[in-house]
Chain A
Amino acid sequence: EVQLVESGGGLVQPGRSLRLSCTASGFTSGAYAMSWFRQAPGKGLEWVGFIGTKAFGGTTEYAASVKGRFSISRDDSKSIAYLQMNSLKTDDTAVYYCTRSLVEVVAARSVSTYYYVDVWGEGTTVTVSS
């Protein structure tokens, strides 16, 4: 069974750091791009960040709201992706979801890639409060 399990959430004070982990099973995680999304209490879904596969350069991208504070990495030997969150703010309070993405490659005048999420973890709650 394809599964993603997040861990590492909890209560943290503003300005502190937290690292979330996402453990994949049931598939070869190194072959897939991974992303993190979040959902604040009673709110909609927000993309946080993305990490591509090593085959596509392992590039990372971040939402403007977290750029410079959050970073994503992956250890494919352990089938784990990480979300390192620094300088946390109260606005970062949310359920954080780890996801797997499928890619469609379009080769026209240049090569473009389009990623959509097909598998979500159950989420882990991060509460930033003093």
Chain B
Amino acid sequence: DIQMTQSPSTLSASVGDRVTITCRASQSISSWLAWYQQKPGKAPNLLIYKASNLESGVPSRFSGRGSGTEFTLTISSLQPDDFATYYCQQYDTSWTFGQGTKVEIK
């Protein structure tokens, strides 16, 4: 199975900050990676697919980069609505998620 490791597990930041979350795969997954945002009690919401493609309707402050085994999700200027938990997910072979990164208010 392909293991996904996110870092950090928790990130404390302020409104307006630039934040980056890293996701590493245990083997190459090419660009078959998605990022999701989840708020408490809600279903996840797709942000990025195929490593760097912004889902329709998602604000442009979100961006994704990477290929192979290392990927990043960047929020260019953190907004109040962005405090949530973020998950990466590989879909190269079955589907596995990182453990999540909680973005909290500093």
Contacts and interface: CB of A to CB of B under 8 A. Distances in A.
Interface of A: 35, 37, 44-47, 50, 61, 63-64, 97, 102, 104, 114-123
B46 interface: yes
Contacts of A104: 50
B5 to A, nearest CB: 12
Nearest to A104: B50
A35 B95 contact: yes
B92 A121 contact: no
Contact of A120 (B32, B44, B96, B99): B44
A61 B94 contact: yes
Contact of B45 (A37, A120, A123): A120
Interface of B: 1, 32, 34, 36, 38, 42-46, 49-50, 55, 87, 89, 91-92, 94-100
Main secondary structure of the interface of B (DSSP, over half): loop
B92 A47 contact: no
A127 B32 CA distance: 33
B91 A97 contact: no
Contacts of A119: 46
A120 B42 CA distance: 10
21 contacts: A35-B95, A37-B95, A44-B98, A44-B100, A45-B97, A45-B100, A46-B97, A47-B95, A47-B96, A50-B95, A61-B94, A63-B94, A114-B91, A115-B91, A116-B32, A116-B89, A117-B44, A117-B95, A118-B55, A122-B43, A123-B43
B24 to A, nearest CB: 16
A46 B87 CA distance: 11
A122 B42 CA distance: 7
